[in-house]
Amino acid sequence: MANDIMEKRLRAQKRAEELKARIKDYLEAREKIHCGFKLAEHYEENKRRIKKVLGATEKDWSNWKWHVRNRFTRAEDLAKVINLTEKEIKEINEVGKTYRWAVSPYYASLMDPDDPNCPVRKQAIPSIYEITVPLGEPDPMAEEYTSPAPTITRRYPDRLIINVTNACAMYCRHCQRRRNIGEVDKAAPTEDILQALDYIRKNEEIRDVLLTGGDAFMLSNSKLDWILTELDKIDHVEIKRLGTRMLVTLPMRVNDELCEILDKHPRVYINTHFNHPKEVTKDSEKACDKLARLGIPLGNQTVLLKGINNDPHVMKKLCHELLKIKVRPYYIFQAKMVKGTGHFITKIEDGINIMEYLRGYTSGLAIPQYIINAPKGFGKTPMLPEYLVSMAPDAVYIRTWEGRMIKYPNISIDGESTEV
């Protein structure tokens, strides 16, 4: 008996060694990935510098409206807080003639002042490639043809979007809705929202409403409260979702007043948009913690971006950092073919490779779904490495996460039967 236990223990130890070997490359790579928590002191230093340049107090810094008012929108001003070459300044100004840009002081404090390849900088600062890469179209999702009522986008049977504003705390360079950003920040007119609410009232199959834009948290508290209140009154609306990137670009938005409002409304979910572990900071953790304490489930939608997160180790680290701040990695989106963002688009193989590298190698909770949004609004289509190799009436061949081929029975009998 003792020999039997010993034998099993030895086999388990051998297997444990094999498993350890499977994570070795990640553990080595992980050390070199820049993460917000590890960079906390650098961020503090950047913050002190930016506050000084803008003449801001600590009270200003904790006020989200101050950040929105003081967004960097001129290359010459941004050059006062990070190092930009003459060429970069010229290019930013050139791109700015076609595409609007704005960076919150908070998000600027996450930038490496000296590294033009910093993933935070690349998401925020215009690149000349936005006007030189000839890829994409303004509206590949044909959103204009999926709007049955003002401000609504409807692509699915039981849910829809209300685009409540075109404003964001920062204008991301990879934005898939950049055509909506326009010249000025505008909340959707009340008349349009009233028509959208009316549409929802009349269509009883709609059980899930996503408020986004733009960024739903850019709405005033009173307008957000009003829309949620109106949705609460519609019996068939079971859940409300808010789409916001402000947990990443301006986490100070999640203040006590906003929390009080959100707490009044039942069954609210929040979708956010972290793309790199550098964005997961103490401030974003604080904001997410406040929301999680209200019982609001938090999910993350990442866009797969060349040179930012199209690396299996970086993506895995991002997913782990998100779970640490109570955010569930939910989707990885293949970047759409949007004009002005072509330099971010990756090959599909990059996404499949990432999925292959996550499944089995880390907790299921840390694994988002990789999605291609089918053009013309035909919806989210999951992309997966192949695990079902072949299928016969009585058995399937499956490939495990480590690549083992296994025959698995394909059998179902009802409880009454005595035959197998």
User: Which chain residues interact with ligand SF4 by CB under 6 A?
Assistant: 168, 171-172, 175, 177, 214-215, 245, 273
Least distance in Å: CB of 15 to ligand SF4? 43
**Which is nearer to ligand SF4, 246 or 268 (by Cβ)?**
246
Least distance in Å: CB of 407 to ligand SF4? 45
Cβ within 8 Å of residue 284, ≥6 positions away: 36, 247, 248, 251, 274, 325
159-163 and 208-212 as β-strands: parallel, antiparallel, unpaired? parallel
Residue with tokens 């609306």: 237
The DSSP-derived string for 186-236 is -BPPHHHHHHHHHHHHH-TT--EEEEESS-GGGS-HHHHHHHHHHHHT-TT
Least distance in Å: CB of 32 to ligand SF4? 27
**Which is nearer to ligand SF4, 215 or 321 (by Cβ)?**
215
**Which is nearer to ligand SF4, 177 or 320 (by Cβ)?**
177
**Which is nearer to ligand SF4, 168 or 358 (by Cβ)?**
168
**Which is nearer to ligand SF4, 215 or 285 (by Cβ)?**
215
Least distance in Å: CB of 154 to ligand SF4? 18
* Residue 252 CA, distance from chain mean position: 18
Least distance in Å: CB of 272 to ligand SF4? 10
Distance CA(107)–CA(118), nearest Å, equals 12
**Which is nearer to ligand SF4, 109 or 275 (by Cβ)?**
275
Distances (CA, A) of 341 to 79, 168, 176, 345: 23, 17, 8, 7
Least distance in Å: CB of 175 to ligand SF4? 3
**Which is nearer to ligand SF4, 172 or 314 (by Cβ)?**
172
Q: What is the 3-state secondary structure (H, E, C) of 233-300?
A: CCCCCCEEEEECCHHHHCHHHCCHHHHHHHHHCCCEEEEECCCCHHHCCHHHHHHHHHHHHCCCCEEE
* Residue 292 CA, distance from chain mean position: 17
**Which is nearer to ligand SF4, 126 or 214 (by Cβ)?**
214
Cβ pair 355, 383 in contact under 8 A:
yes
**Which is nearer to ligand SF4, 237 or 284 (by Cβ)?**
284
> Facing residues of 381 across strands?
372
Least distance in Å: CB of 85 to ligand SF4? 25
Ordered strands of the 159-163 beta sheet: 152-153, 159-163, 208-212, 239-243, 268-272, 298-304, 328-334, 369-374, 379-383
Least distance in Å: CB of 412 to ligand SF4? 45
Least distance in Å: CB of 413 to ligand SF4? 51
Cβ pair 318, 350 in contact under 8 A:
no
Pair of tokens at residue 216? 């739903």
Distance CA(70)–CA(202), nearest Å, equals 42
Least distance in Å: CB of 19 to ligand SF4? 38
Cβ within 8 Å of residue 7, ≥6 positions away: none
**Which is nearer to ligand SF4, 164 or 262 (by Cβ)?**
164
Cβ pair 338, 178 in contact under 8 A:
yes
Count CB-CB contacts under 10 A for residue 120: 25
Longest dimension (CA), the chain: 82
Distance CA(355)–CA(316), nearest Å, equals 10
